[in-house]
Structure 1
Amino acid sequence: MTDLSPPWRITALAAEHVHSLAQCHITCWREAYRGLVPDHILDAFDVDRRAEQWERLRVRHPNSTHVALVDDQVIGFASVGASRDESPVTPTELNALYIRAAWYGTGVAHALILAALPSDIPCSLWVFEKNPRAQAFYRKHGFELDGTTRIEAFTPTTEVRMVRGVDG
């Protein structure tokens, strides 16, 4: 008999995962955004600083971030919280969903979004305009572009908003 369980497990972020999450976060940005985000921004990320940020978020908002682990290494994560938009279109925002490139297409992202965000919750998210792969993934999970754009907070990159569960 073949074991059909995936090689990863999904769990809420715990203190022992914070440093590995910081490494994963930085790696994912560099893998996904090289050529889209200026190199000097990607190269300036610091693992210890990012870990401190994730630890503060973990303590302030328990169970809002889920990680995908292989052994004790974070290979992906999803983070959900209250919308940060000035005029929110949904109460909930998917703040982050990242997977290491080696795990693209394996189902990790699907498992993470299901763990972090039940499908019946209205939600918004921001995604880079020039990231069609991510937009296609989100469309599979019921998100649609709503026509709103903004410039990402610390890069000169345009983001587009996607929403689901909004009557209109």
Structure 2
Amino acid sequence: MLAAFDQDQRAAGWERIARDNPGKTTLVAEHGAEIIGFAQYGLPRDLPAAAARELSAMYVRAHWYGTGLAQALMDAVLEPDLSCSLWVFERNPRARAFYAKYGFAPDGTARAERFATATEIRMVRPAVEFRS
């Protein structure tokens, strides 16, 4: 699905997202001049919100799988004292397993994805309570 996107159109879309959503933070991982991954997070879009923060985009180029890049992005996004939600394709076991490693679990909510004929499920990671 990602290969079908027009790069110039997507770049313009990201610029529009950044301009129109000042509450979003986008982290970009680069290797030289090449973008090799990114994550975007901010206030949740769902009403009512399922968590304090939403991970709205996460992508790592396949060549960089297994290098720790995805973990570094997740470590930068997740804060133990903040709950976080995300939407993932229901039929993407690799992504679902990846997010489960970080404490995300399906909350029973599903929706039709906006750009493809696929179902997404919401996964939520609760805040971690610290006890002394």
Contact 1:122/1:163, CA 8 A, preserved across alignment: yes
1:110-121 pair list within 5 angstroms? 110-121=71-82
Q: Which runs of 4+ in 1 moved over 3 A?
A: none
Contact 1:99/1:109, CA 8 A, preserved across alignment: yes
The residue that corresponds to 2:16 in the other structure is 56
What percent of counterpart residues are identical?
50
Query: How far did residue 63 of structure 1 move?
Result: 6.7
The alpha-carbon distance between structure 1 residues 152 and 84, as it changes in their structure 2 partners (threshold 3 A), is same
Structure with the largest fraction of strand = 2
The alpha-carbon distance between structure 1 residues 90 and 58, as it changes in their structure 2 partners (threshold 3 A), is same
The alpha-carbon distance between structure 1 residues 145 and 166, as it changes in their structure 2 partners (threshold 3 A), is farther
Pick aligned residue for 1:91 from 30, 49, 52: 52
Structure with the largest fraction of helix = 1
Q: Tell me, what secondary structure is at the counterpart of 1:137?
A: helix
Task: State the aligned residue count.
Answer: 127
**In structure 1, how many angstroms separate the alpha carbons of the residues matched to 2:127 and 2:93?**
22
Q: Say whether 1:131 aligns with 2:92.
A: yes
Structure 1: runs of 5 or more not aligned: 1-25, 31-42
Q: State the TM-score, normalized to the length of structure 1.
A: 0.69
Look up the equivalent residue of 1:48 and give its one-letter code.
Answer: D
Look up the equivalent residue of 1:50 and give its one-letter code.
Answer: R
Contact 1:82/1:93, CA 8 A, preserved across alignment: yes
Q: Which has the higher contact order (CA 8 A, sep 6+)?
A: 1
The alpha-carbon distance between structure 1 residues 62 and 165, as it changes in their structure 2 partners (threshold 3 A), is closer
Contact 1:80/1:117, CA 8 A, preserved across alignment: no
Structure 2: runs of 5 or more not aligned: none
Q: Tell me, what secondary structure is at the counterpart of 1:161?
A: strand
1:10-159 pair list within 5 angstroms? 29-30=2-3, 43=4, 45-59=5-19, 60-61=21-22, 64-159=25-120
**In structure 2, how many angstroms separate the alpha carbons of the residues matched to 1:162 and 1:72?**
33
**In structure 1, how many angstroms separate the alpha carbons of the residues matched to 2:53 and 2:61?**
25
